[in-house]
Amino acid sequence: MRARTLPLLVAIFALLAVLVPGAASAQDRKNHIAARLVAEGPVEPGKTLTIAIAFDPEPGWHGYWSNPGDAGYGMELDWQLPQGWRAGEPQYPVPRQLVIGGLMNHVYKGAYAVLVDIAVPANASANGDAPIAVDAQWLACTDKICVPEQARLTLDLSAPAPSPGSFNRWRSAIPALLDRTVTYAIADKELRIAIPLPAAVEVPGPHVFFGPRDLVRYAAPQAFFRKGDTLIAEIQLGDPIVTPIEFTGILALGDGNGIRFAGQPGTVPRGGERLSPATTDAGPLWLLLLGALAGGLLLNVMPCVFPILSLKALSLARAGESDAKARVEGLAYTAGVIAATLALGALLLALRSAGEMVGWAFQLQEPGVVALLLVLAVAITANLAGLFDLPSISVTRGGEPAGVFATGLLAAFVATPCTGPFMAAAMGAALLLPPVQALLLFAALGLGLALPFLLLGFVPALRRMLPRPGPWMERFRHWMAVPMGITALALVWLCWRLGGAWFAAVCVLVAAGLVAAVWAAGRRQRAGRPAGRTFALLAAPFALFAAVALPAAIANRPAAEARQGIIPAEPFTEARLAEARATGKPVFVWFTADWCLSCKVNEGVAIEREATRAAFEKAGVIALVGDWTRRDPEITRFLTRQGAAGVPLYLWYAPGAEAETLPQVLTPDSLVTLAEASPTP
């Protein structure tokens, strides 16, 4: 036994002889961030002595702020001071943002210094022999590795003071303390803070660094608004939500300077002019206008516009009757479309300025608006089918400019729920630009939507390519009642999705009453007798019923039903997205709405397919779906941060990578190809 033990002990001691020098050399290794203590001046009893901990990182290395962000840790100091001396809180310069793998870090690149005020007692020695030392620990990192470092730093007070320039530079880097209180409020998983800041102060690229850990989502974009002498910031809260009594932070102004502040609960105003560095990234205004024009033009062939092609087809057919009439109709239709897009855009901007989280096509998230659209669709279907003829809203008979203008209004109102190619960037920028420029984008969108009919009105060669007017138009008119009737049925389904079964039943009953009223009025019209009174008498009871029953049904609508589909997707939340990305698996997120036909076409063609499900399962893809059918402030905020004003939006997150925005028109194998290219878990 002893014979076998002796060789084992020899081997252990030999191994220790190798490891111990290695461990000692590891402790003595040179730090990647060199540190030293520097005093601003000589010791004066009863005064404050400012000491700088000066850091000098090697190229490619960086240090951390007191709150390091999503990863890392801050500096720790253990002071050894003479009796009665007291060290204050460290004062840090303004940190920088560094995002690695989706994680936000608060760092310092290049030389920097942290200042600490030392309170010197009145009975202290002034001869400079007081021992001052600190055991400091910090984290040094590159973009790939991190190394914990430490050092015992000592200060030789008998040494000559540094040049004033060094301390002036270090002190000027420390953000000034705001002498007014910052107020904050919490609502909808969002922290809103109001910072008193004169309007004359330039804020080229603001960002708020918060002292408390895990108060906010560090990597989430921050929105800023100017309202007079107040800067308003909106930041997503962390998960779980922490409600602080008060907190400290630094407002970085974007030019290397910043302001320290303390926040406490209070009132935070709504509205203001939005500030965002994203506005300069979207491109020049002329390019955005061109994108809006092209996007509106392409809306004419997008699936979300198919239900109203019947209206446009009849306008095309009638445009060949005479040059003057074609020009009038082209201008009237264009005016109606542009008026509708401007009105929707102005209302959208006004609601967002008032603090409402709404996006493009917000009108179709309101049950009352969808009910009104259903009534209009039923009335137009009845008109196309020949049940009645009301010139003021007729889209085919008479050709009055008012009727053509109304057609343009309706076309834009129904045709813009979905965003098409080229349009997404323009509409996303419209939510960030000043109001006048944003309205120009909405007008360009309307011009693009109406452009084919405007050209038909003013280019005779194009009109000559159309069939000549004749009796076939009446038959074509009746056939066009079919797609419009299908649109009405789709709106009934949307009423059910938005407001529940009772709300949909009320809408159907009101629509049925409208059909009965216009049918009776149409019979009197064909007999050559006045029909207005008949229509009013029959429609009045249903209008009264709608005024009472629809608000009650909306007020008592049930919660949205869970989505069912081939792809086992989870409901989107930003917290769930962060968790999914942290797994290291591919993540696919799509944003849809029941009123977006482009979304439904893409889901049928590319998403809700057995081939896609099988590819996702093989690659371990986590799927999340954001249903924007009903208003959802969290989804609206996320869409805005992605530069999207509406749906559809498709995002693909490869493991460890940022989001890749996919095209708004998906091909059958586009998602299968992405999944197959991902590493197998």
pLDDT of residue 8: 40
Average pLDDT on 430-435 reads: 70
Mean pLDDT within 568-573: 91
Residue 113 has pLDDT above 90, yes or no: yes
Looking at the structure, do residues 182 and 119 belong to the same domain, yes or no?
no
Residue ending a domain, choose from 141, 173, 205? 173
> Is 491 within the bounds of a domain?
no
Residue 436 and residue 324 in one domain:
yes
> Residue 24 is part of which domain span?
1-29
Same domain, 299 and 415: yes
What does the alpha-carbon distance between residue 251 and residue 271 come to, in Å, rounded to a whole number? 20
Q: CA 434 to CA 424: how far, in whole Å? A: 18
Query: Could you tell me which of 568, 551, 564, 631 has the C-alpha nearest to residue 595?
Result: 631
**Could you give the CA distance from residue 366 to residue 388 in angstroms, rounded to a whole number?**
29
The per-residue pLDDT for 274 is 78
Residues 532 and 390: their CA atoms lie apart, in Å, by 10
pLDDT attached to residue 575: 80
User: What element of type H or E holds 416?
Assistant: none
Residue 610 lies in a domain: yes
Q: What is the pLDDT of residue 21?
A: 42
45 lies in a domain? yes
Question: What is the pLDDT confidence band of residue 20, given thresholds at 50, 70 and 90?
Answer: very low
* Closest to 630 (Cα-Cα) out of 361, 428, 312, 348: 361
Identify whether residues 381 and 301 lie together within a single domain.
yes
Tell the residue number behind the tokens 């709106």, with chain if given: 491
Each residue's pLDDT tens digit, 228-285? 889 999 998 887 777 777 889 999 988 788 999 999 999 998 878 877 544 334 557 7
Sort 527 into a burial class: Cβ within 10 Å, 0-12 / 13-18 / 19+. exposed
Structure tokens at 329: 């109709």
How far apart, in whole angstroms, are the C-alpha atoms of residue 473 and residue 538?
31
CATH number of the domain residue 649 falls in: 3.40.30.10
- Claim to verify: residue 153 and residue 194 sit in the same structural domain: no
Whether residue 657 is contained in a domain is answered as yes
Strands 258-265, 182-187: pairing is: parallel
| Same domain (yes/no): 37, 10 | no
Q: Which residue has the higher pLDDT, 504 or 473?
A: 504
pLDDT digits (tens, 9 = 90+) for 577-601: 888 888 889 999 999 988 776 788 8
Residue 422 pLDDT exceeds 60: no
| Number of domains the chain contains | 5
Residue 482, domain member (yes or no) = no
Q: Using the predicted structure, report yes or no on whether residue 188 has a pLDDT greater than 80.
A: no
Q: Do 245 and 352 have their domain in common?
A: no
Mark whether 73 and 184 lie in a shared domain.
Answer: no
Q: Judge if 360 and 448 occupy the same domain.
A: yes
Q: How many CA atoms lie within 13 A of 540 on its CB side?
A: 6
Q: Are residues 612 and 672 in the same domain?
A: yes
Which residue, 528, 482, 308, 466, is CA-closest to 384? 482
Could you tell me if 40 and 52 are in contact, meaning their C-beta atoms sit under 8 angstroms apart?
Answer: yes
**423 in the same domain as 297:** yes
Q: How many CA atoms lie within 13 A of 48 on its CB side?
A: 7
pLDDT for 277: 46
Q: What is the pLDDT of residue 112?
A: 94
Provide φ and ψ at 430, rounded to 5°: -60, -25
In order, the DSSP letters of 27-86 are HTSPPSEEEEEEESS---TTSEEEEEEEEEEPTT-EEEEEEEESSS---EEEEE--TT-E
Do residue 301 and residue 409 come from a single domain? yes
Instruction: Identify whether 549 is part of a domain.
Output: no
Instruction: Give a yes or no: residue 186 inside a domain.
Output: yes
Nearest residue to 517 via CA among 546, 558, 555, 475: 546
Look up residue 98 and give its two tokens: 């560094």
| Torsion-angle region of 84 (φ positive above 0: left; ψ -120 to 50: alpha; else: beta) | left
**Would 553 be classed as within a structural domain?**
no
pLDDT reading at 16 higher than 70: no
Average pLDDT over residues 537-561: 84
